[in-house]
C-alpha cells in the first residue's frame, strides 16, 4: 500500500501541476482577450482597483480549482484502469451512486 500511495502522489501531483500551469496560461490569455489589458501582477497592490483585483481573484481561483478537480478525477480514472482500484485517499463513499448518476445523465443526454 505504501508503494501505491507514493505512486499516486507522484502521478496525481504531476498531473495536477501540468494542468494548473496550462490553466494559468489559459486564464491569463482569456483575461487579455476580455479586458484588453494584462492581468494584475499583484491583485493585493493598492494601485490595482478593487474591481480588477476581485475579478482577477475570482477568474484565476475558479479556473485553477475547476482544472485541478478535472485533472484529479481524470488521473483517478487512469489510475483505476492501471491498478483496478481507486487511488489511495479517493474512495467511493456513495456506493456506486456516481456511476448510476453518470448512466442516467448519459441516457438523458445531460
Q: Give residue-wise pLDDT tens across range 13-50.
A: 899 899 989 999 999 999 999 999 999 999 999 999 99
20 φ, ψ (degrees, to nearest 5): -65, -40
Using alpha carbons, list the distances in angstroms from residue 12 to 5, 71, 77, 78.
10, 8, 11, 10
Residues 41-94 have pLDDT tens digits of 999 999 999 999 999 999 999 999 999 999 999 999 999 999 998 998 887 665
pTM of the model: 0.69
Question: Where are the chain's structural domains?
Answer: 2-108
Q: How many CA atoms lie within 13 A of 58 on its CB side?
A: 6
Amino acid at each position: 500500500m505504501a508503494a501505491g500511495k507514493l505512486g499516486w502522489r507522484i502521478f496525481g501531483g504531476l498531473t495536477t501541476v501540468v494542468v494548473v500551469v496550462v490553466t494559468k496560461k489559459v486564464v491569463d490569455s482569456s483575461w487579455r482577450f476580455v479586458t484588453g489589458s494584462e492581468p494584475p501582477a499583484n491583485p493585493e497592490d493598492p494601485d490595482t482597483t478593487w474591481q480588477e483585483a476581485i475579478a482577477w481573484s475570482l477568474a484565476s481561483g475558479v479556473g485553477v480549482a475547476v482544472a485541478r478537480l478535472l485533472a484529479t478525477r481524470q488521473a483517478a480514472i487512469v489510475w483505476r484502469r492501471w491498478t483496478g482500484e481507486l487511488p489511495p485517499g479517493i474512495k467511493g463513499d456513495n456506493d456506486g451512486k456516481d456511476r448510476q448518476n453518470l448512466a442516467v445523465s448519459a441516457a438523458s443526454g445531460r
